[in-house]
Amino acid sequence: MSIFYFIAFLSILFAVLVISAKNPVHSILYLVLTFFTFTVQYILLNAQFLAIVNFIVYMGAILVLFLYTLMLINLNKDSEPMKTNMVKIAAVLGGGCLLVVVVAALKVVGVSDPVLVRDPNLGLVKNLGKVLFDEFLLPFEISSLLLLSAMVGAVLLATKDPKIA
């Protein structure tokens, strides 16, 4: 249980460093570390599928895309537009709403009993695959065809040749 609390502490620490980092590249690298601690938490909670998806999709694809996008844009402070008072008021209201939610969440911390998992195989990829390919095979295949047609459509829209489109 002490490993869980240590990794939770690291998650919170890296999340705070994401917000407080002055350099945006450092902020993204701290975000990678935050997602890595989430992956470790998923493994500790016996949710291997979520750990693998978090590692591959978030750390492997989305954050690398963020990093490349950040490297391509110009982050010059002189070209940054000034924020209007309406945006500042909206930011204060949003922060106040977040504070209310955090206080309400902290008020109920420790009230409930810990969750005991009765099935040690819960969250394994093997069980998810069985359910996915036994009960949900048709929706899975239809969604794969939908994603394939969307990918083909995106490639056709991105081509410069007017004869193809």
Q: Which domains does the chain have, with CATH numbers?
A: 1-74 (1.20.120.1200), 128-165 (no CATH)
pLDDT score recorded for residue 157: 77
pLDDT score recorded for residue 1: 65
Question: CB of 16 within 8 A of CB of 36?
Answer: no
| Residue closest to 36 by CA, chosen among 52, 22, 20 | 52
pLDDT band, residue 12 (cuts 50/70/90)? very high
pLDDT score recorded for residue 104: 87
Amino acid at 77: K
Burial status of residue 31 (CB atoms within 10 A of its CB: 0-12, 13-18, 19 or more) = buried
pLDDT score recorded for residue 76: 63
pLDDT score recorded for residue 74: 61
* Lowest-pLDDT choice from 31-40, 66-75, 87-96: 66-75
pLDDT band, residue 113 (cuts 50/70/90)? low
pLDDT score recorded for residue 123: 66
pLDDT band, residue 88 (cuts 50/70/90)? confident
pLDDT score recorded for residue 94: 93
- As a whole number of angstroms, the distance between CA 108 and CA 3 comes to 23
- As a whole number of angstroms, the distance between CA 127 and CA 130 comes to 5
pLDDT score recorded for residue 93: 94
Burial status of residue 126 (CB atoms within 10 A of its CB: 0-12, 13-18, 19 or more) = exposed
pLDDT digits over 119-156, tens only? 766 667 788 788 888 888 888 889 889 988 988 888 87
Tell how many helices (H) and how many strands (E) occur in the chain: 7, 0
Does 165 have pLDDT greater than 60?
Answer: no
| Residue closest to 31 by CA, chosen among 70, 69, 71, 63 | 63
Q: Is the dihedral of CA 17, 91, 83, 73 positive or negative?
A: positive
pLDDT score recorded for residue 110: 67
pLDDT band, residue 112 (cuts 50/70/90)? low
